[in-house]
Amino acid sequence: PPMIAVHNMSKLYGEFVALDRLNFDVQRGEKIVVLGPSGSGKSTLIRTFNRIEPHDSGSIIIDGKIINEKTSLTELRCMVGMVFQNYNLFPHLSVLDNCTLAPQLVRNVARKDAQEMAHNFLKQVGIPEQAHKYPIQLSGGQQQRVAIARALCMQPEVMLFDEPTAALDPEAITGVVSIMDTLAEQGITTLCVTHEMAFSRRIADKIVFMDQGRILEITPPEQFFTAP
């Protein structure tokens, strides 16, 4: 069965149809890039998966579980991690505490275990030395890596990325690409909203192309980028 199954799913803001009867599946470990013009519904789409934006009709099934108003947000936040464009790190907490807070509070992980896990993920994303610094002491690329490590500390099945490279230099972007490859190898399913064509081409297994709240096509990147 697919990791994510979306069936006739719609989302309204008042009268405005932001997502219009979407249908698609995502397989476990797939990397999906969502492309499309500004305002086409890309952010809204990925935010329906963790109910930051609850959908209004149709269905979303993640790992066999129906996602709706009865879904425990705690459970959902463990299953679906999110990395925001502006990182959303807690400025008054160290990198380590940023990573260990939610696992302790939400998953009842013991402090020592949460710290060990955080150190492992900080190593995986390439910043093992920054654990005791504060976000403001880090570069944009390093903050982005902390945001990824923090999300991974919840051990999610699905990772959502909203414009993860927008504020990064080319070297940092390469870093994010290799992190995403590693996540896919570990079976984590990735959905990523971006405007960066080169980045999309590099990471996507499939491109979901949106316009005006609809999916116009779902294609492998080689096809998408060479189509007439």
Interaction site with ligand ADP (CB under 6 A): 13, 16, 18, 36, 38-44, 162-163
**Measured distance CA(191)–CA(227) in Å, rounded:** 22
**Shortest distance in whole angstroms from residue 62 CB to ligand ADP:** 19
Q: Shortest CA distance to 36 belongs to which of 24, 26, 45? A: 45
**Shortest distance in whole angstroms from residue 84 CB to ligand ADP:** 9
Looking at the Cβ atoms of 4 and 96, the one nearer to ligand ADP is 4
Looking at the Cβ atoms of 20 and 181, the one nearer to ligand ADP is 20
**Measured distance CA(83)–CA(11) in Å, rounded:** 22
Phi then psi for residue 82, to 5 deg, are -140, 140
**Measured distance CA(17)–CA(214) in Å, rounded:** 10
Looking at the Cβ atoms of 43 and 98, the one nearer to ligand ADP is 43
Residue ranges of the alpha helices (H) in 155-227?
170-185, 197-203, 221-226
**Shortest distance in whole angstroms from residue 45 CB to ligand ADP:** 7
Looking at the Cβ atoms of 20 and 157, the one nearer to ligand ADP is 20
> C-alpha angle 9/188/70, rounded to 5°?
40
- Determine how β-strand 31-35 pairs with β-strand 206-211: parallel
**Shortest distance in whole angstroms from residue 22 CB to ligand ADP:** 12
Looking at the Cβ atoms of 48 and 189, the one nearer to ligand ADP is 48
**Shortest distance in whole angstroms from residue 93 CB to ligand ADP:** 23
